[in-house]
A and B are shown apart, each in its own frame.
Chain A
Amino acid sequence: SQQGEEDPQALSIQEGENATMNCSYKTSINNLQWYRQNSGRGLVHLILIRSNEREKHSGRLRVTLDTSKKSSSLLITASRAADTASYFCATEDDKIIFGKGTRLHILP
């Protein structure tokens, strides 16, 4: 089963631009996490935001959470070629459930 739904499914932007990905989910959560997956490799944890938090920053990443709308967004500022990857939101109540992901492609 998949709880989160990322939007858009795919995104191509020029290097240096900002990339925004959105995630909507259905049920109550303890926290929401974002992960990155490079082609053919395992998932890497990016950031965790708890249900009582509204915004969190980590380096070039900014995550927001709106529990009333059951949605989250991930902003990557000043994108780089190395940011090309798939990005997944994952919600946690008692287990971690992933969405289908956004495939981000940074154009040189």
Chain B
Amino acid sequence: GAGVSQSPRYKVAKRGQDVALRCDPISGHVSLFWYQQALGQGPEFLTYFQNEAQLDKSGLPSDRFFAERPEGSVSTLKIQRTQQEDSAVYLCASSLAHLDTEAFFGQGTRLTVV
């Protein structure tokens, strides 16, 4: 595709509901990153993949957060039993190589937990 695509763009979830956020990276991009951005703050690192391998998940806030990229392309970020503090914009980015290349960002998914 032309760019990184995220879906849905907006998601309203009731507290306790499970949600799944999808990211379609640019075709051929090796690295894929997930970030969480609260209003007025910078993106906070959650996790990243190199192809299908999840190399770092140190930023995931709790074991309710889970990410996968089973075929090294599309990635899904799943949040179980959502809480109000999970409300944020979730950004996905991909890059062509592992290091020293720019990351291309999607428009994000705005999650609101009510």
Interface of A with B (CB < 8 Å)? 1-2, 4, 30-31, 33, 35, 41-45, 48, 50, 88, 92, 94-101
Contact = CB atoms under 8 A, between A and B. Distances in A.
Determine the main DSSP class of B at the interface with A.
loop
A31 B103 contact: no
B47 to A, nearest CB: 9
B33 A48 contact: no
B48 A95 contact: yes
Contacts of A92: 99-100
Interface of B: 4, 33, 35, 41-45, 48, 55-56, 58-59, 91, 93, 98-108
Contact of A50 (B48, B58, B100): B100
A96 B100 CA distance: 10
Determine the main DSSP class of A at the interface with B.
strand
A1 B105 contact: no
A94 B59 CA distance: 13
A40 to B, nearest CB: 9
Contacts of B102: 33, 45, 48
Contacts of B106: 42
A96 B56 contact: no
Contacts of A43: 43, 91, 93, 103, 105
A31 B56 CA distance: 19
A91 B86 CA distance: 25
Given A42-B91, A45-B102, A98-B35, A1 B45 contact: yes
A92 B33 CA distance: 12
A33 B33 CA distance: 15
B99 A30 contact: yes
26 contacts: A1-B58, A1-B59, A2-B44, A30-B99, A30-B100, A31-B99, A41-B107, A42-B106, A42-B108, A43-B43, A43-B91, A44-B105, A50-B100, A88-B42, A92-B99, A94-B56, A94-B99, A95-B33, A95-B45, A95-B55, A96-B45, A96-B103, A98-B35, A98-B44, A100-B42, A101-B42
